[in-house]
Amino acid sequence: MAPVIFEKKGKIAYVTINRPESMNALNRETQITLKETWEKIEADDEIWVSILTGAGGKAFSAGADLKEGEGVGRNYDYMRLKGFLTKGPSAREVSKPLIAAIDGYCLAGGLELALACDIRIASENSTFGTPEPKWSLINGYGSLVMPWTVHSSNMMELLLTGQFIDANEALRIGLVSRVVTKSKLMDTVNEIAEKILQNAPLALKVTKELARLRERQGLEQSLRTYYSYHAFLDRTEDYETGITAFRDKRKPEFKGR
């Protein structure tokens, strides 16, 4: 089963994370396939808008697949970092409008992926969170880009508590732009995409570039710093404790070392 489904309908590309049995967790294969998909979208002049969603109806994505193996957090983040610093776009760097259709859990790296999209629409049963600190990890990319989306106090509460919030709270703090019923999610996203398609594609690219300019000017260096912090945590006793506890489905006992 392909980890990512790509469909092209007219000028719209539909990208679906297809690991519903693991709540669309982002393992290495999925990350690589997503990056190849962004490259395909960027290279296709017939695609003007893209929509990203998750299969199964339970999760957009629960984040990195921590059950995949040792060092998965480091490797996952490194691939994401390399997506910014090497040839070929990450989701954040696709020059065409990208809409996230969020249904269900949108957590950790899954939330970071949603934050890479230009517009986020959520079903009313969606749940958001950055639980990484519970396992001695960091929501590094989210920490870097969320200030452009969410007020500082709301952002820090989300990042530092690791607690989940519902779709209405996500709407209140500006994490998403609309909350709709589950049955209307894709119709709403498609309506937005169709409105975007009425505009000139080159003007859309330039508008997106300008809107992201201030944020992107210092992003590459910030991402390098983020990876160095992650590399530090990856060598700590707490990191091993957190990952092991996650796999064993128990509460970790951290020692701060």
The pairing of strands 49-54 and 4-9 is: unpaired
Catalytic residue among 21, 29, 112, 169: 112
Catalytic residue among 21, 42, 46, 132: 132
- What torsion, rounded to 10 degrees, do the Cα atoms 108, 179, 50, 164 define? 0
Backbone angles phi, psi at 48, to 5 degrees: -110, -25
Known catalytic residue: 132?
A: yes
Residues 6+ apart with CB under 8 A from 254: 136, 238, 241, 242
Integer Cα distance of 130 and 132 in angstroms: 6
What's the DSSP call for residue 191?
Answer: H
Q: b/e for 221-251, b at 16 or more Cβ within 10 A?
A: ebbeebbeebeebbeeebbebbbebbeeeee
Task: Identify how many contiguous H helices and E strands the chain contains and give both numbers.
Answer: 10, 10
Q: Sort 76 into a burial class: Cβ within 10 Å, 0-12 / 13-18 / 19+.
A: buried
Do the beta carbons of residue 158 and residue 130 sit within 8 Å?
yes
Integer Cα distance of 149 and 240 in angstroms: 32
Can you tell me which residue has the tokens 């089963």? 1
- What are the residue numbers of the active site? 112, 132
